[in-house]
């Protein structure tokens, strides 16, 4: 009885709003402040939420409760993978926050949306940095930390699919300004070997925009140092060439959503083992290794219709390994690429 009275008091100040109006208002509010791909994903998520509301006779956001939201989480959990569900629920929480500000739902209702943990045994190809996440991270860095070391490292990984060791081994002298490219070389005698040895050597096109960003990094943020072999590395620290662990840390740290958005795991930054002090970024369920950027980049190239043969040479990976370990596209995504090619004929 007391619980019902308390719930009624909380609802007394609410203003009636249909789910349709709430979603429309939220998307209008959201569109100018997020990347296009993020907005499109939010739009899809909220359309699914609207459909669920209609199926369950929910015609006023005032009626939403923690139990209803738990039912929605269960409903979606039967249809998408945990990693996808985490992203969906992050968008739902942001919407609930916005609706609470409009007096359409109870304040704090967002805290009652609980995301599932991602299983440790998730299929390897699913553990990647997807396009939405990459856009969010790189947009944030472009706005607030442009041309910094982390901005360059993550941009190169995303746009080229280059391996961790290959990027670490790039020197200033490997840049080719006229071609907006970088030459990847095998130099085992000075501690920068390539995984595939001489077979991994190649020219990698960066494009004008990324190449200009690299040049800005060199002019403004790069530590002007040489390594122990008297080479001039592209990616540096005050002590010389960036180590593999330094580059891994950049990946783990910047794939934590709380660095550039909000935590989807119901954690408080101060007490989070992945964010607080001392912290271990790799312990964040959303954190991804450099290999996640490589896998995400290769998948993104394929989704954009780049031929597997071109991707294979660009990323220095055989077609067999590419299909087995890197191609994380869903069947419908593969069909969409084929359809584009067929419609062009």
Pick left, alpha or beta for residue 161 (phi over 0 → left; psi -120 to 50 → alpha; otherwise beta).
left
What are the strands, taking DSSP E only, across 300-340?
Answer: none
At 129-160, the pLDDT tens digits run 999 999 999 999 999 999 999 999 999 999 99
Most confident of 46-50, 122-126, 268-272: 46-50
Confidence of residue 120 (pLDDT cuts 50, 70, 90): very low
Least confident residue range of 11-15, 24-28, 61-65, 341-345: 341-345
Asked if the model's pLDDT at residue 75 lies above 60, the reply is yes
170 vs 176: CA distance, rounded Å: 12
Q: What is the pLDDT of residue 161?
A: 95
**Closest-CA residue to 161 (of 322, 331, 338):** 322
Task: Quote the pLDDT of residue 80.
Answer: 83
Q: Both tokens of residue 203? A: 């020219």
Q: What is the mean pLDDT of the chain?
A: 88
Residue 103 Ramachandran class (φ > 0 left, ψ -120 to 50 alpha, else beta): left
* Residues whose CB falls within 8 Å of the CB of residue 49, separated by 6 or more in sequence, listed in order: 19, 23, 72, 92, 95
Domains and CATH numbers, the chain: 2-120 (1.10.150.130), 131-283 (1.10.443.10)
DSSP track, 245-263: HHHHHHHHHHTSGGGTS--
Residue 343: half-sphere exposure toward Cβ, Cα within 13 Å: 7
Strand partners, 187: 192
What gap in Å lies between CA 88 and CA 73, rounded to an integer? 10
3-state DSSP helix/strand/coil percent for the chain, to nearest 5? 60, 5, 35
Strand partners, 192: 187
% the chain with pLDDT above 90: 63
What SS3 state is found at 323? helix
pLDDT band at 83 (very low <50, low <70, confident <90, very high): low
Lowest mean pLDDT among 128-132, 190-194, 242-246, 325-329: 325-329
Element (H, E) at 221: none
């Amino acid at each position: 009885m007391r619980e019902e009275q308390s719930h009624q008091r909380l609802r007394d100040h609410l203003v009636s709003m249909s789910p349709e109006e709430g979603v429309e208002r939220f998307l209008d509010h959201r569109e100018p402040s997020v990347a296009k791909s993020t907005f499109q994903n939010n739009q899809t998520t909220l359309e699914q939420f609207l459909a669920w509301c209609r199926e369950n006779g929910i015609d006023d956001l005032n009626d939403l409760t923690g139990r209803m939201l738990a039912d929605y989480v269960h409903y979606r959990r039967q249809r998408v993978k945990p990693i996808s569900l985490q992203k969906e629920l992050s968008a739902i929480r942001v919407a609930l926050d916005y609706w609470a500000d409009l007096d359409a739902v109870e304040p704090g209702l967002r805290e009652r949306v609980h995301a599932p943990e991602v299983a440790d045994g998730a299929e390897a190809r699913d553990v990647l940095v997807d396009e939405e996440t990459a856009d969010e991270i790189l947009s944030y860095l472009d706005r607030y930390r442009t041309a910094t070391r982390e901005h360059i490292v993550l941009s190169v990984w995303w746009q080229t699919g280059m391996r961790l060791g290959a990027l670490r081994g790039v020197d200033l002298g490997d840049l080719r300004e006229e071609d907006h490219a970088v030459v990847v070389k095998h130099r085992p005698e000075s501690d920068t070997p390539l995984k595939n040895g001489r077979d991994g050597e190649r020219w990698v096109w960066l494009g004008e925009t990324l190449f200009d960003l690299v040049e800005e990094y060199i002019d403004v943020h790069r530590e002007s140092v040489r390594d122990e072999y008297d080479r001039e590395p592209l990616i540096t620290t005050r002590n010389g060439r960036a180590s593999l662990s330094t580059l891994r840390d950049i990946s783990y740290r910047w794939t934590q959503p709380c660095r550039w958005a909000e935590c989807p795991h119901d954690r408080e930054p101060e007490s989070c083992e992945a964010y607080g002090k001392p912290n271990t970024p790799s312990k964040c369920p959303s954190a991804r290794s450099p290999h996640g950027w490589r896998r995400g980049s290769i998948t993104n190239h394929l989704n954009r219709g780049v031929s597997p043969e071109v991707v294979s040479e660009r990323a220095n990976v055989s077609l067999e390994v590419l299909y087995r370990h890197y191609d994380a596209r869903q069947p419908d995504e593969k069909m969409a690429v084929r359809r584009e090619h067929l419609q062009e004929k």
